């Protein structure tokens, strides 16, 4: 029969405190739902994981008529840090959310442990999200907004295949969950008061199968950042949906 001390030690291991805190921020057209599998994997290992949804998207898409700005979206995540009293956070941003990662590093570096840009935009201060994409893609976004049957203040999502999703069942699931992105947020300029990353350690993850055209500029900016790690992942742009186990493992490795 085990001694009382042995039982106590066993229980302590079983209910050990989570090792890390993660905030995972989705990109354009998506919502917190896109991190479901990655978050589940991380939580199963004892981590604390937050997956906020930005105003006007996902389950908050009913607020798109409020015309949320990039600043509103930055505040969406900043408020999670404040009201959940988060410290020592590994902040992950996918695609459009790279701007949110950069903004929060600029404003609250003391709360951050590491930044992860998952195939994300890396803007320089004074740039807007659409400033960093090729002109032909910028025009496609504008045309989609013009063709939209709404009031024209939203950009409809592209097909899931444009995000590197090929599995038919996943394509149908994602098609039903994508929502239009607030038009104005693509033109709001990211203003930083400090150098990019503000001294917080960072990793840029480029999804290589295939390379996403919207992040070509950002990949070059990330490569030029002193001290940043640059990692390749053989997956499409929406790797958190198509390769959740690999994304979760990669995120754990940077911590």
Active site residues: 95
51 within 8 A of 21, measured Cβ to Cβ: no
Strands 181-182, 112-118: pairing kind? unpaired
200 within 8 A of 106, measured Cβ to Cβ: no
d(CA 206, CA 57): 24
Strand partners, 114: 90
Strand partners, 125: none
Residue 51 makes CB contacts below 8 A (sequence gap 6+) with: 23, 24, 26, 32, 33, 35, 36, 39
**Which alpha helices (H) appear in 125-186, and where do they start and end?**
135-147, 168-177
219 within 8 A of 206, measured Cβ to Cβ: yes
């Amino acid at each position: 029969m085990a001694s009382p001390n042995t039982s106590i030690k066993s229980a302590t291991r079983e209910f050990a405190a989570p090792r890390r805190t993660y905030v995972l921020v989705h990109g354009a057209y998506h919502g917190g739902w896109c991190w479901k599998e990655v978050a589940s994997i991380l939580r199963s290992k004892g981590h604390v994981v937050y997956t906020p949804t930005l105003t006007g998207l996902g389950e908050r898409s009913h607020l798109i008529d409020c015309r949320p700005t990039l600043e509103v979206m930055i505040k969406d995540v900043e408020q999670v840090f404040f009201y959940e009293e988060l410290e020592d956070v590994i902040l992950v941003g996918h695609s459009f959310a790279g701007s949110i990662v950069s903004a929060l590093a600029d404003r609250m570096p003391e709360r951050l442990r590491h930044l992860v840009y998952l195939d994300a935009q890396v803007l320089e201060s004074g740039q807007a999200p659409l400033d960093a994409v090729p002109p032909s893609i910028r025009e496609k976004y504008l045309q989609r907004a013009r063709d939209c049957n709404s009031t024209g203040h939203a950009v409809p999502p592209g097909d899931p295949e444009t995000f590197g999703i090929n599995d038919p069942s996943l394509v149908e699931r994602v098609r039903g969950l994508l929502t239009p992105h607030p038009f104005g947020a693509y033109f709001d300029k990211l203003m930083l008061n400090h150098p990019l990353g503000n001294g917080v350690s960072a990793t840029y993850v480029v999804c290589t199968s295939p390379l996403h055209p919207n992040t070509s500029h950002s990949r070059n900016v990330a490569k030029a950042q002193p001290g940043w790690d640059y990692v390749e992942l053989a997956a499409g742009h929406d790797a958190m949906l198509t390769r959740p186990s690999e994304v979760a493992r990669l995120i754990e490795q940077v911590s």
